Structure 1
């Protein structure tokens, strides 16, 4: 089966966002490429050459990836159409991830036990990305 990974666009703060995600999830970046390190930077302004062309952070069996949008790409806009969903293995991990991701952000649904047998909460992080954190309780 194919793997679906998430790719996020940021308006110049990809490095800050991904250092934040790394502090929450742990791990190490498997790729960090700046525009200046690629043939794509010809004709780019010097400050844009320092921006992130591609970054990748493995999380579980998937990879969270991102880039800084530069001209002539349109600015990234965030809305309610997509959320990243994280399934934690334990209640403690769910709490840690939810608290970490919500730091500086907005909790839209506090992490709580739900009628469908899960610990679940929703938030928008300080970079405007929507997250759902879930831990399914094992049924006997």
Structure 2
């Protein structure tokens, strides 16, 4: 089983997927709304033809993030879910935290925790909530 985060945005998925790629790397694949067969139950306005119907940021073989420009009003901010990323190095964590927090809101500044990690959480400029962590090596 695989659970993949899917971020629905109100028209700025292209900007967001490129932003996330600049932080996490990976490759981008997109399907545009213009590629969808016409459906009278789901009309697509002319100004949305080039928006992303479904986008995938393939970060590595085990991790992808899906994004889309939602043509229905389902993009209200959802603060019950956040993306938790565990990094392989403190440097990667700090770099991602800095980039994601620009124009966003810091909830917990990055720092050492009582559970043996460096951790911080924030809401980025696209209203996506993130928990970012690096687990410190155990002392002998």
For the criterion TM > 0.5, the same-fold answer is yes
Aligned length: 136
Q: Does 1:68 align with 2:66?
A: no
In structure 2, the residue matched to 1:93 is: 92
Q: CA deviation at 1:74?
A: 2.3
Per the TM alignment, residue 55 of structure 1 is displaced from its structure 2 partner at its CA by 0.5
- The 5-angstrom pairing of residues 96-115 of structure 1 reads 96-115=95-114
Alignment of 1:1-140 (within 5 A): 2-29=1-28, 31-40=29-38, 43-60=43-60, 61-70=62-71, 73-139=72-138, 140=140
CA distance in 2, matches of 1:11, 1:103: 20
Moved over 2 A (4+): 40-44
- The SS at the match of 1:39 is coil
Unaligned runs of 5+ in 1: none
Unmatched segments (≥5 aa) in structure 2: none
* Counterpart contact for 2:30–2:54, Cα < 8 Å: yes
Across the aligned residues of Structure 1 and Structure 2, the Cα RMSD in angstroms comes to 1.4
Q: Is the 8 A contact 2:27 2:59 kept in 1?
A: no
CA distance in 1, matches of 2:133, 2:52: 30
Instruction: Give 1:41 deviation, angstroms.
Output: 6.4
| Alpha carbons 1:108, 1:122 under 8 Å: kept | yes
Distance 1:58 1:94 in 2: 19
